Structure 1
Amino acid sequence: MLYRALLIGVLINWPFLSVRADAGDGDGTGYWDNLQIHGFASLAGIKTSDNRFFGDSPHTSFDFSELGLNVSLRPAPTLLISAQLLARRAGEMYDGEPALDYALLDYCAAATPDYRLGLRVGRIKNPLGLYNETRDVPFTRPGIFMPQVVYFDQVRNLLLSSDGLVLYGDAYTGLGSLSLSVLHGRAVVDENVEWAYLNGDFPGDVESRSDSWIWSLWFATAGDRLRLGFSGASLSVDFDPRTSAPPILGAGSFDILYWIASIQYDAEDWTLSAELMREPIDWHDFGALYPDRRLTAEGYYLQAAYRVSPGIELMMRYEEGFADRADRSGKAMSRVGGGQGPAHMGYSKIWTAGLRWDLDRHWMLRLEYQRHSGTFTLSSRENPYLPGQVKDWNLVAAQIAFRF
């Protein structure tokens, strides 16, 4: 309740919160002249015909809200310091407790008309796909919700950022620009990872190893009209039972190789985007209750956005996702689970229609309708009674957001 009251208070008093610090000596050369402080907030209402999505949505949920504050400072032309604190409420998955989304130091070691080389260190946004680096702000997402079959909100923190170091470089040619980045570090793991990959909350903890690798390679034509990208992540997560009683699960681990192929074409009034994701996963050493297995999850979507006017945008998207690309009906997965989980948990097919209205540079309204077949994208943490998940269901959402 305190969190929601704070969010509403910020929405009401937003004109007084916009800050740009210019505390130098008045001639534009002060150390703090480049300090910028910005923020955003959003609140959404969600109604589903069945199943829980970001709260008790069958009875209308207002448990999806965000309150963020970001700071950046450029003490020298080659150095940038940046951080963001975010309080995010998303049903049972995220409780609104403030957390550090990212905090990094970016050093540009070389920059010429032909190339740029640099280094970032700290908690860094993972350069995955078209939208992962901008998914934390409502204004820079492609809709109220990300394409769930590629950008899983079930494990948002795992995908969003990593603690480590990234080397990046850009090359500029007459044909366009080529960008490469390679990150080494530790993934951010929370309880949602356990729910998503182990289907429950077991006595013990999940922890990331420190040998995660993330990479991205992009080509963009002049003016960024056409963008082609390939990005991915390789990481391992360990489970430590940490109990004196006989553990339910053994001290196992699962290895993930997650990659995305991306394409986007941006014209004056419309944008077409498409991405394909595959995620080979290997579980091992958890014991008899959770036998060793391997599968490859898959998801893809096609999205079109049309700007009717500078302030109004229409969006259509179709997406499909599968827990195992070799079992697109989900029947084999259901048999392995003894029929406890229905087959439609193995896939999701989603149609989305959305409207974005920018009232001014600070305020935005969004409306969205989704038609779902399957429940692959649902969180088992919010829908733990697996036989009760309904195959065909609808979602309607409205969101108000502001930024300063």
Structure 2
Amino acid sequence: MAHKLTIVILLAATLAPGLGQGIELVDGHVQIHGFASQAAINTSDNHYFGDSPDTSFELTELGLNLSYQPDPEWLFSGQLLSRRAGEMYDGTPSLDYALIDHALLADAERRLGVRVGRIKNPIGLYNETRDVPFTRPGIFLPQVIYYDKVRNLFLSSDGAMLYGDLFGPSGNLSLTLSGGQAVIDDNVEWAYLGEDFDGDLESNGVSLKTATLWYSTPAEQLKVGLSAIMMDMDFDAGAASPLDAGSIEVFDWIVSLQYNARDWTLSAEYAQTPTRWKDFGPLFPYEDQVMEGYYLQGAYRLRPNLEIMARYEEGFADRDDRSGRKRSEQVGNVPRYDFFSKIATLGLRWDITQNLMLRLEYQHHDGTYSLSWRENPDPSDLTREWNVFAASISTRF
């Protein structure tokens, strides 16, 4: 399967320069775009997107999106995504987003509208565009905020969103409010319960809500934002489950800052995620904790098509237990360094052509909090300090 996907990507890379920036049909009302990416990942220890100690090619992304805008007030848009990511995702095509956008009011100074369907959650600097390789700051997003181990949970939701923008000479102000159902898969159960227990973790009713407020200067030289997402999940325990039926409450908020100059970009974000587990029974060790993550990232453009990136990030499963000792004692068989991650990253981006990009990346990890328990089910096999060497090739049309 990997070999076939690689052939598809290389063929798309060959054809991409001739396709330009997409396909337009019906006098520009319909646009079709696509992208493909293949990565190679080698780690000194631990499993990261597949059997990475032996070099993994199990990070593959293929996307096809279509938009139809019959007039300025209406937009219909959707994207199919095939994502293979180690044990977390097997490449089965899924609906990344599909929405109807209706602009209720739009002029030079203001805009008001509503979106309905499967909608991207606009939290943080990168969540809305994290599925497209060309819009990410590296092969991997900062894992202490944009967790790939529960990617779908935060990426999008099924519901409705109200958005508004004010445009002025001193800058732009944007506000979004949304409500709907979270998209829950097996990775969410592994991350929040520690295993795939008998039963179902699901979202009932309007269980997810988001709110964002952004300010940017007219040319977006400076961007400042506050994002929040709240969600409730219920676990319907099966007959063989050692856990009782319980619920999980998650409240994630992010403060974001980005400054863009001609040749460089500086980005920083800080997040806290108060999380509460209720009624899972005496065998479940967790009740309340506040996850915490932050990073500082700089990118410098040596040439218009060549960029270097450096980032340092830290994340903790419990901000009141940054060493992980309390959590390790609570669980019993998990090392304390599985409850924190400190990651230093160096990356290189080379846009070979407008539609073909090569990336190289090195990471040094202290701790394993960023790893998926689904890919690393035996805590005794984890190594505290480990390195990542990765390369990716991506194309788009």
| Aligned equivalent of 1:164, options 154, 159, 166 | 159
Inter-partner Cα distance in structure 2 for 1:237 and 1:281: 11
| Aligned equivalent of 1:89, options 77, 84, 90 | 84
Inter-partner Cα distance in structure 2 for 1:360 and 1:255: 45
Aligned to 2:392: 399
Deviations 1:311-365 (A, max 9, x none): 0000000000000000000000111012x10010111000000000000111000
Inter-partner Cα distance in structure 2 for 1:210 and 1:4: 42
Q: Residues 148 and 360 from structure 1, CA distance in 2 versus in 1: closer, same or farther, beyond 3 angstroms? A: same
Q: Structure 2: give runs of 5+ residues left out of the alignment.
A: none
Q: Structure 1: give runs of 5+ residues left out of the alignment.
A: none
Aligned to 1:44: 39
Does 1:306 pair with 2:306?
A: no
Q: What SS does structure 1 have at the residue aligned with 2:190? A: helix
Contact 2:108/2:167 (<8 A) preserved? yes
Contact 1:312/1:357 (<8 A) preserved? yes
Indicate the RMSD between aligned Cα atoms, in angstroms. Answer: 1.3
Aligned to 2:370: 377
Contact 1:373/1:392 (<8 A) preserved? yes
Contact 1:21/1:34 (<8 A) preserved? no
Deviation at 1:174, TM superposition (A): 2.4
Aligned to 1:142: 137
Aligned to 1:365: 358
Q: Normalization by structure 2: what TM-score? A: 0.96
Inter-partner Cα distance in structure 1 for 2:212 and 2:394: 30
Q: Normalization by structure 1: what TM-score? A: 0.95
Deviations 1:146-175 (A, max 9, x none): 100000000000011000000000012221
- Considering Cα pairs closer than 8 Å and 6+ residues apart, tell me whether 1 or 2 has the greater RCO: 2
| Aligned equivalent of 2:346, options 345, 353, 371 | 353
After TM superposition, the structure 1 = structure 2 runs for residues 5-404 of structure 1, keeping only pairs within 5 Å, are 5-16=4-15, 18=19, 23-24=25-26, 28=27, 33-211=28-206, 212-243=208-239, 245=240, 247-291=241-285, 293-338=287-332, 340-404=333-397
Deviations 1:283-331 (A, max 9, x none): 0111111145100000000000001101000000000000000000000
Q: Which 4+ stretches in 1 moved above 3 angstroms?
A: 13-24
Inter-partner Cα distance in structure 1 for 2:330 and 2:335: 11
Contact 1:285/1:292 (<8 A) preserved? no
Contact 1:285/1:291 (<8 A) preserved? no
Deviation at 1:210, TM superposition (A): 2.5
Q: What SS does structure 2 have at the residue aligned with 1:254? A: strand
Q: How many residues align?
A: 393
Q: Residues 23 and 143 from structure 1, CA distance in 2 versus in 1: closer, same or farther, beyond 3 angstroms? A: closer
Inter-partner Cα distance in structure 2 for 1:23 and 1:181: 31
Greater CA deviation, 316-325 or 382-391? 382-391
Q: What SS does structure 2 have at the residue aligned with 1:223? A: coil
Deviations 1:185-213 (A, max 9, x none): 00100000000000111011110133210
Q: State the identity as a percent.
A: 55
Contact 2:201/2:236 (<8 A) preserved? yes
Contact 2:47/2:376 (<8 A) preserved? yes
Q: Residues 292 and 383 from structure 1, CA distance in 2 versus in 1: closer, same or farther, beyond 3 angstroms? A: closer
